[in-house]
């Protein structure tokens, strides 16, 4: 079938950090219907290049919009942007590799207000701390001035002037972020100084300013101990003309002006006056602008209400930790916000899917005893932290790390029939080879089960941890009704519910039955909780050597209850398998406090994906080689597989394996690619 959808995109491969860059569709595949050639239906997805050279999704997707703005931290990374109508192709002209470039002009991109638990906020209590967060570009290591001031508008029955409450300095970190904390009790104290003993709602602003690479004045010397600094004496703002909304010019103002000069060519020179300037806020050091020029500013507003309950800082306090070269705040909630046994949510379902290979589990949304044991195993084996069976931010981040470290090759998992698109066509739902049990269900599921693929990551991890073997490849994934193996012997496990796997020993691909037995016992039985030959329900099941899996490992999810075999659990590509990051999903579902907790510490796993594919192609493992072996073994499939282990005697026929080059060199057989010595 001819390709449809986007065939080519264009745009800047070296965008400037902090500047919005728009990418566009330039060509469609000819087979794309005219009605579908609509940019509003196109998905734009951003992938990030990892240390192993592979690209994995950032979970940043936009539908209908190809405009992206890269933050300062992005300039250290390489990205791939892809546009698609149906599924990402992973390479070619539908992709652009992007290397964000640092900007020459420092900017303050955004100012936002946060509660003490780092969640965004606009309404605060007089008795709590507020965090002001400035997102910047090209300002790492520079100091910003944060000003908290009251917007005491006329008509509220209060002083008509707007008053400065407090100023702070904060340094921009390597991620382009600066944060200042304000104790809002100061605003209450200021009201008391004005004679108000029962203040009502107070509107306020935080203005953040950067001044031409020079340290700017502030009356707060000890930023970390604001209570040690006497409250700033309020300064009245002179009334401003109502039409004073034009951008200030970078000319030097008069000595009595409340508006600082603006540097030529700066972002501030292109902006109108800030609310702080427009209201005439005067700093305590009246001549602070004498040697400085305003380069850029940003603002955000909020409200303080006496009836607003204060946000509680999570138990355990906050500590500073270094993550990927930047200083970030972490905390320990003392298990107050941890997800635990008895809880229920879609986040828990994702945990049960992504960690299914740690003891075995089904994709339920309930935190069961199996979930608790699974988390403990993950904490003990992968994270190497004390196991408590509960989930907080450190576990969520470790799951994301684990998922990115051990990837899945979907090209190996696709059906090789040459007729379907790789994962069947959804035929035969509710139809069975015999009876009406799942083992004989002919339904071609829409992909491969996520729990199965996720558990394969655990197989790779434990192989790396064990050290004796490594993963080779998925030798057989999806097999639809047109696949040669199905036509030869109809079985339905591989219609999305099973994987056959090859493994390596120290010398390359191993076909030894004893090695397969060891891998099943020491990896699948021990760590995945897999059982044998479909005798137990709702767990991974292995096919034993006795039943037929001789030189490979077969395991599947066919014994899962039907509720865990719904279509939503089957996927066709790595993006759908990975989904959103656990942290992003948790925040989306409201688990903000959970994400902030790093109690127990971060993951310390050193194991890596040791997948080593056998690139030496041997003709005897091709379809042609299998046909010859089938003929020589009287069409006995299991006997046929035994011929792949080296020198074997089958039905009095000695089969010796050679590569094509070896046989050509030997010149004993010119017409056939097999050397058979008949005893």
What CATH number corresponds to the domain at position 232? 3.90.280
Look at residue 663 in the predicted model and tell me its pLDDT: 41
What is the domain count for the chain?
Answer: 5
Q: Which residues of 90-142 form beta strands (DSSP E)?
A: 95-98, 107-114, 123-124, 129-137
Residue 263's pLDDT band (cuts 50, 70, 90): confident
Same domain for 461 and 558: yes
Q: Which of 70, 98, 126 is the last residue of a domain?
A: 98
Is residue 248 one of the residues assigned to a domain?
no
Same domain for 418 and 565: yes
> What angle do the packed helices 346-354 and 450-466 form, to 10 degrees?
50
Same domain for 381 and 417: no
Same domain for 344 and 294: no
Same domain for 548 and 414: yes
Same domain for 417 and 398: no
Domain with 637 in it? 619-678
Percent of the chain beyond pLDDT 70?
72
Same domain for 308 and 282: yes
Identity of the highest mean pLDDT range in 157-171, 281-295, 611-625: 157-171
Same domain for 424 and 367: no
Question: Which tens digits make up the pLDDT trace of 282-307?
Answer: 554 334 445 577 888 888 888 887 77
Q: How far apart are the first and last CA of the chain?
A: 50
Residue 631's pLDDT band (cuts 50, 70, 90): low
Whether residue 26 is predicted with pLDDT greater than 60 in this model: the reply is yes
Question: Which tens digits make up the pLDDT trace of 618-630?
Answer: 444 444 555 555 5
Look up tokens 């021990």; give the residue: 526
Is residue 207 one of the residues assigned to a domain?
yes
Whether residue 230 is predicted with pLDDT greater than 50 in this model: the reply is no
Question: Which tens digits make up the pLDDT trace of 75-118?
Answer: 778 999 999 988 899 889 999 999 988 766 788 988 999 988 78
Look at residue 112 in the predicted model and tell me its pLDDT: 92
Same domain for 418 and 301: no
Look at residue 413 in the predicted model and tell me its pLDDT: 95
DSSP code of residue 334: T
Look up tokens 């930047």; give the residue: 326
For 47, the 3-state DSSP assignment is strand
Is residue 114 one of the residues assigned to a domain?
yes
User: What's the predicted TM-score (pTM) here?
Assistant: 0.49
Nearest CA among 132, 170, 142 for reference residue 72: 142
Nearest CA among 262, 253, 251 for reference residue 297: 262
Look at residue 475 in the predicted model and tell me its pLDDT: 95
Question: Which tens digits make up the pLDDT trace of 559-594?
Answer: 999 999 999 999 999 999 999 888 888 888 888 778
> What CATH number did the domain enclosing 383 receive?
1.10.101.10
Pick the residue with more confidence: 237 or 98? 98
Q: Which of 520, 547, 578 is the last residue of a domain?
A: 578
> What CATH number did the domain enclosing 13 receive?
2.60.40
Provide long-range contacts, Cβ within 8 A and 24+ apart, for 84-89.
84/5, 84/6, 84/42, 84/43, 84/45, 85/4, 85/5, 85/6, 85/32, 85/36, 85/41, 85/42, 85/43, 86/4, 86/5, 87/572, 87/573, 88/45, 88/573, 88/575
Is residue 560 one of the residues assigned to a domain?
yes
Whether residue 141 is predicted with pLDDT greater than 90 in this model: the reply is no
Look at residue 470 in the predicted model and tell me its pLDDT: 95
Whether residue 638 is predicted with pLDDT greater than 60 in this model: the reply is no
Measuring CA to CA, how many Å separate 511 from each of 259, 457, 626, 643? 80, 22, 15, 10
Q: How confident is the model over 53-68, as a mean pLDDT?
A: 89
Residue 475 near residue 501 (C-beta atoms within 8 A):
yes
Is residue 331 one of the residues assigned to a domain?
no
**C-alpha 464 chain-centroid distance:** 23
Look at residue 291 in the predicted model and tell me its pLDDT: 59
Nearest CA among 434, 480, 472, 439 for reference residue 456: 472
Look at residue 461 in the predicted model and tell me its pLDDT: 96
Q: How confident is the model over 153-164, as a mean pLDDT?
A: 49
Q: How confident is the model over 330-346, as a mean pLDDT?
A: 81
Whether residue 320 is predicted with pLDDT greater than 80 in this model: the reply is no
Whether residue 417 is predicted with pLDDT greater than 80 in this model: the reply is yes
Lowest-pLDDT range of 140-149, 251-260, 287-296: 251-260
Q: Which of 63, 98, 133 is the last residue of a domain?
A: 98
Is residue 1 one of the residues assigned to a domain?
no
Look at residue 304 in the predicted model and tell me its pLDDT: 81
Nearest CA among 181, 165, 260 for reference residue 219: 165
Lowest-pLDDT range of 220-224, 407-411, 478-482: 220-224
Percent of the chain beyond pLDDT 90?
42
Pick the residue with more confidence: 265 or 325? 265
Whether residue 268 is predicted with pLDDT greater than 90 in this model: the reply is no
Whole-number Å distance between alpha carbons of 233 and 357: 62
Is residue 612 one of the residues assigned to a domain?
no
Residue 667's pLDDT band (cuts 50, 70, 90): very low
Look at residue 17 in the predicted model and tell me its pLDDT: 79
From the number of C-beta atoms within 10 Å of its C-beta (0-12, 13-18, 19+), residue 561 rates as exposed
Look at residue 592 in the predicted model and tell me its pLDDT: 78
Is residue 325 one of the residues assigned to a domain?
no
Same domain for 418 and 378: no
Look at residue 129 in the predicted model and tell me its pLDDT: 83
Same domain for 624 and 641: yes
Whether residue 126 is predicted with pLDDT greater than 70 in this model: the reply is yes
Same domain for 470 and 446: yes
Lowest-pLDDT range of 29-38, 371-380, 539-548, 554-563: 29-38
Q: Considering the chain, what is the average pLDDT of its residues?
A: 78
Lowest-pLDDT range of 72-86, 368-382, 636-650: 636-650
3-state helix, strand, coil split of the chain in percent (to 5) is 25, 25, 50
């Amino acid at each position: 079938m001819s390709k449809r959808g986007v065939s080519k995109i264009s745009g800047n491969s070296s965008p400037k950090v902090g500047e919005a860059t728009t990418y566009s569709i330039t060509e469609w595949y000819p087979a794309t219907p005219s009605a579908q050639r609509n940019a509003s239906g196109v998905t734009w997805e951003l992938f990030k290049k990892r240390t192993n050279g592979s690209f994995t999704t950032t979970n940043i997707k936009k539908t209908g919009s190809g405009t992206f703005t890269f933050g300062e931290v992005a300039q250290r990374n390489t990205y791939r942007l892809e546009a698609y109508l149906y599924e990402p192709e992973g390479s070619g002209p539908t992709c652009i590799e992007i290397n964000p470039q640092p900007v020459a002009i420092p900017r303050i991109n955004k100012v936002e207000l946060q509660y003490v638990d780092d969640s965004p906020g606009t309404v605060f209590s007089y008795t709590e701390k507020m965090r002001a967060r400035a997102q910047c570009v090209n300002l790492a290591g520079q100091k910003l001035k944060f000003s908290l001031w009251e917007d005491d508008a006329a008509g509220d029955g209060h002083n008509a002037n707007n008053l400065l409450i407090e100023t702070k300095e904060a340094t921009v970190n390597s991620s382009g972020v600066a944060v200042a904390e304000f104790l809002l009790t100061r605003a209450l104290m200021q009201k008391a100084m004005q004679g108000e003993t029962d203040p009502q709602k107070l509107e306020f602003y935080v203005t953040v300013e950067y001044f031409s690479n020079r340290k700017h004045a502030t009356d707060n010397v000890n930023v970390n101990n604001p209570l040690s600094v006497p409250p700033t004496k309020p300064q009245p703002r002179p009334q401003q003309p109502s039409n004073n909304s034009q951008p200030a010019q970078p000319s030097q103002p008069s000595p009595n002006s409340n508006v600082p000069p603006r540097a030529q060519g700066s972002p501030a020179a292109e902006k109108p006056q800030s609310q702080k300037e427009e209201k005439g806020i005067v700093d305590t050091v009246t001549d602070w602008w004498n040697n400085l020029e305003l380069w850029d500013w940003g603002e955000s507003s909020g409200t303080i209400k006496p009836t607003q309950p204060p946000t509680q800082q999570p138990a355990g306090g906050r500590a500073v930790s270094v993550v990927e070269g930047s200083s970030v705040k972490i905390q320990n909630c003392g298990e107050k916000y941890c997800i635990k046994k008895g809880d229920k949510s879609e986040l828990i379902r994702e945990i049960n899917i992504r960690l299914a290979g740690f003891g075995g589990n089904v994709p339920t949304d309930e935190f069961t005893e199996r979930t608790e044991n699974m988390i403990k195993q993950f904490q003990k084996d992968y994270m190497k932290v004390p196991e408590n069976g509960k989930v907080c931010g450190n576990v969520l981040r470790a799951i994301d790390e684990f998922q990115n470290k051990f990837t899945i090759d979907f090209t190996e998992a696709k059906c090789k029939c040459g007729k379907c698109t790789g994962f069947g066509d959804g035929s035969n739902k509710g139809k069975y080879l015999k009876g009406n049990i799942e083992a004989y269900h002919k339904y071609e599921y829409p992909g491969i089960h996520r729990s199965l693929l996720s558990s394969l990551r655990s197989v790779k991890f434990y192989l790396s941890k064990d050290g004796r073997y490594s993963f080779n490849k998925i030798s057989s994934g999806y097999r639809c009704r047109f696949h040669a193996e199905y036509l030869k012997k109809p079985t339905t496990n591989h219609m999305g519910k099973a994987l056959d796997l090859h493994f390596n020993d120290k010398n390359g691909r191993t076909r030894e039955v004893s090695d397969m037995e060891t891998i099943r016992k020491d990896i699948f039985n021990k760590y995945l909780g897999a059982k044998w030959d479909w005798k137990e329900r709702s767990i991974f099941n292995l096919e034993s050597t006795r039943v037929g899996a001789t030189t490979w490992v077969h395991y599947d999810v066919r014994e899962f209850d039907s509720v865990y075999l719904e279509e939503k659990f089957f996927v066709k590509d790595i993006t759908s398998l990975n989904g959103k990051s656990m942290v992003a999903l948790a925040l989306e579902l409201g688990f903000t406090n959970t994400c902030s907790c790093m109690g127990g510490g971060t993951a310390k796993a050193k194991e890596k994906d040791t997948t080593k594919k056998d690139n030496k192609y041997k003709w005897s493992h091709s379809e042609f080689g299998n046909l010859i072996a089938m003929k020589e073994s009287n069409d006995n499939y299991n006997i046929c597989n035994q011929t792949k282990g080296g020198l074997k005697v089958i039905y009095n026929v000695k089969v010796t394996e050679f590569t094509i080059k070896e046989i050509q060199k030997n010149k004993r057989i010119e017409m056939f690619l097999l050397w058979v010595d008949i005893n």
